[in-house]
Chain A
Amino acid sequence: NAGVMQNPRHLVRRRGQEARLRCSPMKGHSHVYWYRQLPEEGLKFMVYLQKENIIDESGMPKERFSAEFPKEGPSILRIQQVVRGDSAAYFCASSPKGRAGRNSGNTIYFGEGSWLTVV
């Protein structure tokens, strides 16, 4: 069952280090989304990517955060110089391409998440 695969599942970083989270979408999916979930809160949209393109990054913090989805390989969410407030669960989701190249949008599937702890 090739669902949305995220790794690592758990990551501990010291303040100031870099965190790299990887996401492989479901087979046949070309749209990737990253969401962040703080403890006891809902999911907040961060960024939406297609292959080699950032489509919507309106939820990304202006500094230290970046995302990519290269032609080959998984999508990467990178957090530089992590701070304690970055501790959260980061979820990747994917969806298939709809008709005429548009996102079907209706079926977004989530991975199991990457839990980042900054100490």
Chain B
Amino acid sequence: QQQVKQSPQSLIVQKGGISIINCAYENTAFDYFPWYQQFPGKGPALLIAIRPDVSEKKEGRFTISFNKSAKQFSLHIMDSQPGDSATYFCAARNQGAQKLVFGQGTRLTINP
């Protein structure tokens, strides 16, 4: 119930392509869904986040698509660049709670 399942585990995309990472959840009490970007040896950095009352949020080249009925959300990185190569984590927060539940992570590699 508290799990967030993330796929794929690793992803290789050519420069300029679209990177897509998917997450699914079971707990309908989740009310906040952030994505974090983590470079090796660094802490996770908040990239973009969405609430379930909207179906899409876009910030620059990053877009979250949210499907409430399917209990799925995804991160799209348009015009992917080598500098986007990192590990990406989706997460979810339970309404009324403070802690984030994280997915397993996706290691993204953008080939030049």
Interface hit among B54-62, B67-75, B91-99:
B91-99
Q: CB within 8 A of A43: which of B41, B42, B45, B89?
A: B89
Kindly state whether residue B46 has any CB partner on chain A within 8 Å.
Answer: yes
Kindly state whether residue B11 has any CB partner on chain A within 8 Å.
Answer: no
Q: Is B43's CB under 8 angstroms from A108's CB?
A: no
Kindly state whether residue A31 has any CB partner on chain B within 8 Å.
Answer: yes
Contact with A along B94-112 (1 / 0, CB 8 A): 0001111111110000000
Given A106-B32, A113-B43: A44 and B102 interface contact (C-beta under 8 Å): yes
Inter-chain contacts of B8 with A (CB < 8 A): none
B-contacting residues, A42-94, CB 8 Å: 42-45, 48, 55-56, 58-59, 91
Q: CB within 8 A of B98: which of A33, A42, A91, A111?
A: A33
Q: Is B97's CB under 8 angstroms from A112's CB?
A: no
What secondary structure prevails in chain B residues at the interface with A?
strand
B-contacting residues, A91-119, CB 8 Å: 91, 95, 103, 105-113
5 interchain residue pairs of minimum CB distance: A110-B43, A42-B102, A45-B99, A43-B102, A112-B43
Using a CB–CB distance below 8 Å, which chain A residues touch chain B? 4, 31, 33, 35, 41-45, 48, 55-56, 58-59, 91, 95, 103, 105-113
Using a CB–CB distance below 8 Å, which chain B residues touch chain A? 6, 32, 34, 36, 41-46, 49, 89, 93, 97-105
